[in-house]
């Protein structure tokens, strides 16, 4: 049976690749796309989600979410993803409309209406998720698990301690990790290993209109170097479909919500501070060659 999921996202170039796979993979059944301010402002992330839905002629609904973090001032990543969030490709302009409700309302309605609990995949800041869990806690039993891109046990990419998604809204991240919902943290510890190699990048334009579109976006991506290009958000879907490619460790994750380490995901790696309890399954290693092979095969299979 396909995995039924909701993506909460801030496209963003690597988000675009993740959405591409979520919309098309036969083993995934995307129920809803919600957009949040993150890589760029929420009007742009919503527009980018609609562009991808239209590109693939999909009927997956899109809802616009939070325009700013719960407390912390908003800081985008346009320096990495460009001013539009998805530069480099001319998408169709006859776009569908977003749902006439907020992302939080759409998340609530979709979760409560589903015949079985759904998997939630946040790949941007967690503002919509934090608002959902605080405003409508009755949805919690309807969330099977959360597979979230974000965090790091080691070096961050916004500060020495903090990864971007958690840094953007650490207070929302703290709400999510305190929710009691099973969480898998797919952070920089694996996403900075699973780089698309130069050979993979060279192959992409030969893989039809989808490969051409993704390659055009990737060439405008301000992340990565000559060794490879990180596809942070795509790792969540690779984990869902191929958890055997990951090494994980169960631990308690705390979120720093102030001070110079704001946005840090602090892992109790010794199990010393929470009486043996854990609140996350943390990805600590990945089969990077398998990721590249899977990514190319997945893109090639999309018509």
Report the alpha-carbon angle 222-207-87, nearest 5. 30
CB neighbours (10 Å) of residue 61?
19
Q: Residue 104 burial by CB count (10 A; 0-12/13-18/19+): exposed, middle or buried?
A: buried
Torsion of CA 101, 105, 107, 109, to 10 degrees: -100
- Maximal C-alpha separation, the chain: 55
CA distances from 114 to 31, 105, 120, 181 (A): 9, 14, 13, 17
Rg (CA), the chain: 18
Q: 25, 232, 242, 274: which is the annotated catalytic residue?
A: 232
42 is written with which tokens? 């929420």
Known catalytic residue: 242? no
Please check whether residue 39 is in contact with residue 12, taking contact to mean a CB–CB distance below 8 angstroms: yes
DSSP for 44-81 reads HHHHHHHHHHHHTT----EEE--SS-SSSPP---HHHH
Map 151-197 to HEC letters: CCCCCCCCCCCECHHHHHCHHHHHHHHCCCCCEEEECHHHHCCCEEC
Q: How far apart are CA 184 and CA 171, in angstroms?
A: 18
Contacts of 59 by beta carbon, 8 Å cutoff, 6+ apart = 53
Active-site positions read 232
């Amino acid at each position: 049976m396909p995995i039924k999921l909701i993506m909460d996202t801030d496209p963003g170039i690597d988000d675009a690749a993740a959405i591409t796979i979520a919309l098309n993979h036969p083993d995934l059944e995307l129920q809803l796309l919600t957009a949040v301010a993150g890589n760029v402002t929420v009007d742009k992330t919503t527009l980018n989600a609609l562009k991808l839905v239209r590109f693939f002629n999909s009927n997956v609904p899109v809802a616009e979410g939070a325009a700013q973090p719960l407390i912390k001032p908003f800081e985008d990543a346009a320096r990495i993803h460009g001013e539009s969030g998805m530069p480099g490709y001319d998408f169709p302009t006859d776009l569908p409309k977003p749902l006439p409700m907020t992302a939080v309302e759409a998340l609530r309605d979709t979760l409560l209406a589903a015949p079985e609990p759904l998997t939630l995949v946040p790949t941007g800041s967690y503002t919509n998720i934090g608002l959902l869990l605080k405003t409508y806690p009755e949805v919690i039993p309807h969330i099977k698990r959360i597979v979230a891109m974000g965090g790091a046990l080691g070096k961050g990419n916004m500060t020495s301690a903090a990864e971007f998604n958690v840094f953007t809204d650490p207070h929302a991240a703290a709400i999510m990790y305190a929710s009691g919902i099973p969480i898998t943290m797919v952070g920089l510890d694996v996403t900075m290993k699973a780089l698309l190699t130069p050979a993979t990048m060279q192959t992409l334009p030969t893989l039809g209109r989808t490969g051409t579109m993704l390659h055009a976006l990737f060439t405008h991506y301000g992340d990565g170097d000559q060794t490879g290009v990180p596809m942070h958000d795509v790792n969540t879907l690779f984990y869902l479909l191929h958890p055997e490619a990951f090494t994980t460790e169960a631990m308690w994750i705390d979120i720093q919500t102030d001070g110079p380490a704001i946005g840090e995901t602090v892992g109790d790696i010794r199990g010393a501070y929470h009486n043996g309890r854990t609140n996350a399954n943390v990805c600590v290693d990945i089969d990077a060659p398998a990721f590249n092979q899977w990514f190319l095969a997945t893109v090639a299979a999309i018509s």
